[in-house]
Homo-oligomer: A and B are copies of this chain.
Amino acid sequence: MQFSNVAERREQPPALAVSTVIFSLRDDERTGRKSLWLPLVRRTREPFRGQWALPGGPLGPRDSLFDAAANNLRDTTGLIPRYLEQLYAFGDLDRSPTRRVVSVVYWALVREDDPHDTATSVLLDDSNVAWFRADDPEVLGNLAFDHRQIIEYALWRLRNKVEYGSIAHRLLGERFTLAQVREVYEAVLDKELDPANFRRTLRSTPDIEETDEFLAGGKHRPPRLYRYTGSTTHPLESENIS
C-alpha cells in the first residue's frame, strides 16, 4: 500500500502486527549454569534496517492472533508451540517512526529438543536469525522499535509466572529430574535454591508425578525421572497446545 503524502498516511487506520518473544534454556559457557536465550531476526528493510528485532509481522486476515504468533515461532525456530501465551498489546503512537503500528505480542517457551517442522527447517540456517542471552545488555541496547521494553516485560512476566508454578517443565523434556526443574528456576530467578526444600515443595504439588525410570550416567547416585501431568489455569491464559 502506498500513500501520496504524510498527512494522508497519518489518517490511515493503525496497522496491526503480531510479534513473539521466544525463550529457551541453554548452557551458559561463562557461568556454567543454565540461562535464558531468545532468537532475534535481523531487519532487512527500513526502518531499523540491519538491527535485531523480535520475530513478527503483520496480522493476516485469516490468522487468529494465536495463529500468527505460532507462525512467528515456526518461521524462526521451526518449532511447534508447546507454550504460547499472549503478553501484551503495545500501541503507543511513536513506536514506529514510519507508520502507526499496534503490536500484539505473545511469549513462548520452547525446548531445544522439541521436534522440528522439517518443511521450514531450511530457514534455520538463515544468517538473519540468531540466538542471544535474554539479559545481554549489549543486545538489548540495540534492538529495533520498542523491543527492548517488550523483552524486559516478558522476562518480568516469566519470573512472576514461574513462582506461581507449572511453567518450568515447558523448558524441559518429557521426563526430567527434579534437579533439572531446579536449574530452570535458578536460571529464571537468577538465584540459588536449596535442593532439599525445593524437592519437597515440588513433590507436594499434584502436577508432577514420579516415573519408574532413573537417569544414569552422572558420577553420582542416579536421580529419579518425573513427568508433568498438567493442569490448566484460565483458558485464555493457556491457549497452548500441549
Contacts and interface: CB of A to CB of B under 8 A. Distances in A.
A125 interface: no
A16 B12 CA distance: 12
A58 interface: yes
A88 interface: yes
Nearest to A62: B93
Contacts of A104: 89, 91, 102, 104
A59 interface: yes
Interface string A40-71: 00000000000000000011011011100000
B11 A88 contact: no
Contact of A61 (B11, B62, B64, B65): B11
Given A88-B236, A89-B89, A236-B88, A12 B61 contact: yes
A156 B237 CA distance: 11
A59 B156 contact: no
A83 B8 CA distance: 35
Interface string A103-134: 01000000000000000000000000000000
Contacts of A156: 234
A48 to B, nearest CB: 21
**Copies of this chain present:** 2
B88 A64 contact: no
A76 interface: no
B62 A102 contact: no
Contacts of A66: 91
B11 A102 contact: no
A156 B234 CA distance: 8
Nearest to A156: B234
A115 to B, nearest CB: 27
Which of A62, A89, A93, A236 has the most chain B CB within a 10 Å cutoff? A89
A153 B237 CA distance: 10
Given A64-B91, A64-B92, 16 more contacts: A10-B61, A13-B13, A13-B59, A13-B61, A14-B59, A59-B102, A61-B100, A62-B93, A64-B93, A65-B92, A65-B102, A86-B88, A86-B89, A88-B236, A91-B104, A156-B234
14 contacts: A12-B61, A14-B61, A59-B102, A61-B100, A62-B93, A64-B91, A65-B92, A86-B88, A89-B89, A89-B104, A102-B104, A104-B104, A153-B234, A153-B236
